[in-house]
Amino acid sequence: MFENRPNRDAEVVLVGRSNVGKSTLMRELTGHSFDTGGKPGVTRSPNHYDWTAEDFVLTDLPGFGFMSGVEEDHREQIKTDIVRYLEEYADNVLVAVLVVDGKSVVDIIDRHTGPDSIPYDVEMYHFLQDIGIPTVVAVNKMDKVDDRDERLDELAERLGLYPPWKQWQETIAPISAKREQLEPMYEAVRTHLHEQERDDLFKFF
């Protein structure tokens, strides 16, 4: 299912739970529409978009987490596949963009925080850190959020980053993919590309 990755050295991946706007973001980044199927959990295998001349691929990984109408064991399988993929290609992935829904992410995290459970978004963020992949948390749908700074401070805190969020602008990027307000994410991604001496890829971001 995850076998169709183009053989490229450099990769940027989009990860996140279902329905956070990853596909819209992918469309903005590439100018191409991908078949998302219109219901959660439809993107079951990665969407790759590659530039042969640049030896670069942009990958939209399937959404993880709760999806209505999708069996739990299937959801777990998707998550396992994503984790395996990221572990396998960790050396190739220059940046991971973890996409979250700015309106609901803090509530979702708080709802799933218990003695035994780490919320998916927080778990994924720390997993990416553990395997050494620089991560940008793209906080999408910010056009629908009123108490913007407060909400972003709360998210920073949940991720283990001390507020105010503004000191983490290479990590936390408030965006609105539908409204094409993506500059904070582009800047954060470029920071990480620059650190890895890949300024040649700035033209994509």
Rounded CA separation 127/113 (Å): 17
Rg (CA), the chain: 16
Q: Tens digits of per-residue pLDDT, 71-88? A: 878 888 888 999 999 999
Q: How many other C-beta atoms are found inside a 10 Å radius of the C-beta of residue 1?
A: 11
Coil, helix or strand at residue 63: coil
Asked whether residue 52 carries a pLDDT value surpassing 80, the answer given is no
Task: Give Cα 28 distance to the centre of its chain.
Answer: 14
Q: Tens digits of per-residue pLDDT, 98-150? A: 999 999 999 988 887 666 667 789 999 999 999 999 999 999 999 999 999 99
Query: Which of 1-10, 36-45, 146-155 tops mean pLDDT?
Result: 146-155
Question: What is the pTM (predicted TM-score) of this model?
Answer: 0.92
Domains of the chain: 10-198 (3.40.50.300)
